[in-house]
Amino acid sequence: MAARISQPERMINLLALLVQRSQPLTLKQIRQELVNQYPDGDSAARAAFERDKAELRALGIPMDMITLGGDKAGEGAYTVDRRQFEIGDLGLNEDERSALQMAIATVRIGASHGDEALWKLGGERALDRPTTSVNIQMDDKQMPALAAGVVEHRTLQFSYKGQERQVDPYGLLSRGGFWYIVGFDHLRKAQRVFRVDRIEGEITNGDAQSFSRPEGFDLAKAVPTELELLAEGDGDDAVAKVLVDATLAQRVKAEFGDGAVLRERSDGAIEFAIPCANLSAFRVWLFAMVDRAEVLGPPRVREHIVSHLKKIAMSN
């Protein structure tokens, strides 16, 4: 008889197993490693495993499958690329770590994730005190409720824009410096996207397995892209001219396309036209590049960025 273990705990064990192994594992091998964590019957075990795969995918963790040959021809084996979860040594000096710490403060998720990311980068704390400017708030009360809602299919109840909402959460995604929860809104009778930092008060959960995620649901497509987020806002200026140095220029070009290129400089740096109507999202996008990007104009956008950086510097 299978041991009683919660699905979230089993998913964590599954993820840890696949990340640690250099070779893909079949479901049979996974069941042998995670003793008594999946049901005994083949059909029941396969169904539970497929649910785990779907939940991990909904949390933004893709699992790759390859088809084996030889004596296992046609059998599927599964793996997770650990490079998606590890941060390599960037070789940052003290000044660069300090600049990065300032940038992380503007997009920090929760109370400690920014600090953990700095430690993963391999550097000692460059500043004696943590920076305090925070755009995203996901405190300890919110995260478990949201994660449990997605993983265990629990209907969420919370207040949003002054209205009580009842939402079946299909997925949780971070994009453009903010967290979003996507699900079926019982009030609107339709799928909706909610920005987590705009949820008012506490989040409560209903019973487990109270809804089913639609077949074929694509979390990445359900949330507006970063380009769409930058373009949707009430700022006075719709587009900013941004200079990105050679280190990141090609990555930005791939992200926004050739149409965003204004000028390519001889040193590899590129001037881009970047949407900035949503100044908050634009600021988060810009600061993620630390000192590799500079706003050249319009003046109001540049002044806004400079003013915000001065406030961050003064708070330390």
In the chain, the N- to C-terminal Cα span, in Å, equals 57
What does DSSP say about strands 25-26 and 190-195: parallel, antiparallel, or unpaired? unpaired
pLDDT at 10: 86
Please give the average pLDDT of every successive group of 10 residues along the chain, which has 316 residues.
66 84 89 90 91 79 81 82 55 54 45 41 38 38 78 92 93 74 93 88 91 87 77 77 92 89 96 90 82 91 89 70
Mutual angle of helices 113-120 and 94-107, in 10-degree steps: 150
CATH number of 7-84: 1.10.10.10
**The CATH number of domain 229-314, selected from 1.10.287, 3.30.70, 3.40.190, 1.10.1760:** 3.30.70
Both tokens of 283, joined, read: 């600021």
- Strands annotated E in 133-198: 156-160, 163-175, 178-185, 190-195
CA distances from residue 81 to 22, 41, 52, 68 in whole angstroms, order as listed: 9, 29, 17, 18
The Cα–Cα gap between 37 and 3 comes to 6
Give the residue from 316, 309, 281 showing the smallest Cα distance to 103: 309
pLDDT at 110: 43
The domain made up of 144-222 has a fold known as: SH3 type barrels. (2.30.30)
Both tokens of 187, joined, read: 């009030």
pLDDT at 56: 81
**Gyration radius from the chain CA atoms:** 22
pLDDT at 97: 54
pLDDT at 155: 96
Both tokens of 137, joined, read: 């708030």
pLDDT at 36: 87
Domain boundaries, the chain: 7-84, 87-135, 144-222, 229-314
Give yes or no for a contact between 197 and 179, defined as CB atoms under 8 angstroms apart: yes
